Structure 1
Amino acid sequence: MSSDLDTAGLQSFIDEHGYLSWLGLCLDLIEEGRVRMSVPETEELRNPGPGRSVHGGIAATLIDTASGFALRTTFEKPADARLVTTDLDVSYLRPATGALTVDAEVLRAGGTTGVTDVTVESDTETVAVGRTTYRLFRES
């Protein structure tokens, strides 16, 4: 299990990542097996046309990314963890209209597989839920 949850180091990973930094993704909370992240409301993330809701791909990205970070907390060195998404399930409940917050919780992190449960909120309402499965590459 993780002995050093280096929030600054993991935020630095986000800041150096082209897509995640463009989104303005912020790591708000990191605990063993749990992560909270947020993305500010910006026009670039909205769909065209009436309603101008946030594009659903942003919620899917948050589910995937927060899951990976939550699973990183189960590694001895979270910033150096190697893992890849093998399954991503997203259920959209309502349009997102503002800034987004995502909470990911590890359900299981074994030797080679990890599973998370995730909730995405906008304007204090749940807008999407998801579950991911990851392949974990732990050092032998």
Structure 2
Amino acid sequence: MTGDSSQAGEKSSQIDLTVADLDQPSTLKTFKADVEVIEPGFARIRYPFNLDWCNPRGSLQGGMFAVFLDEVMGYAMIGSHPKLDTLWTTTSLNVNYLRPVTGEVIAEGRVIREGSRTVYLEGEILTAEGKLAAKGTSTMLLLRRDGELLK
């Protein structure tokens, strides 16, 4: 994982240390993804291109977009909740597909609004050239470490 501590400042270093202590999700390892930025309420992950993830026409299969968006929005949550006492789970995920992709992608996720129990997030999939390929929204439910709802 590479953090952008020059832009995020001291807060990012604290978040990077917390994230470094966590086990990386197997999806990051499987996809050989690079977490480029984690800041409060924002994350960016770069995913390489792999023909095994493509449809018969050679473009990235739509389900991969959903996986990448869900993951990057989850990492945006890490930036907002660097302490290990809060968990979250995706309760809804919506993806709008805007263009096919035949190369590496950059996924960005942002916390838009956080309530006492739910968080609304938005994400984007960009081509390596910066063209918008997909947009997604997500709602996540905040939980205590023991899996119970926050009060």
For the aligned pair, the TM-score class normalised by the smaller chain equals 0.7 to 0.9
Within the alignment, does 1:41 sit opposite 2:41 as a pair? no
> SS where residue 36 of structure 2 aligns?
strand
Residue 42 of structure 1: how far off its partner (Å): 1.6
Structural mapping, 1:1-140, within 5 Å: 4-6=14-16, 9-10=19-20, 13-14=23-24, 17-48=25-56, 50=57, 52-77=58-83, 81-123=86-128, 124-138=130-144
Matched residue, 2:7: none
> SS where residue 127 of structure 1 aligns?
strand
TM superposition outliers: structure 1 runs of 4+ over 6 Å: none
Show structure 2 runs of 5+ residues with no match.
1-10, 145-149
CA RMSD of aligned residues (A): 2.2
Residue 90 of structure 1: how far off its partner (Å): 0.3
CA distance in 1, matches of 2:104, 2:17: 21
Question: Which fold has the larger relative contact order, with Cα–Cα distance below 8 Å and residues 6 or more apart in sequence?
Answer: 1
CA distance in 2, matches of 1:11, 1:45: 29
Number of aligned residues: 133
TM-score with structure 1 setting the length? 0.83
CA distance in 2, matches of 1:137, 1:39: 29
TM-score with structure 2 setting the length? 0.78
* CA contact 2:34–2:47 (8 Å) conserved in 1: yes
Q: Among the aligned pairs, what percent are the same residue?
A: 28
CA distance in 2, matches of 1:11, 1:90: 30
Show structure 1 runs of 5+ residues with no match.
none
CA distance in 2, matches of 1:111, 1:45: 37
Distance of aligned partners of 1:23 and 1:91 in 2 relative to their CA distance in 1, 3 Å threshold: same
CA distance in 2, matches of 1:82, 1:106: 15
Q: Deviations over 1:25-80 (max 9, x none)?
A: 221001111000111112222222x3x00111111111111111111222241x56
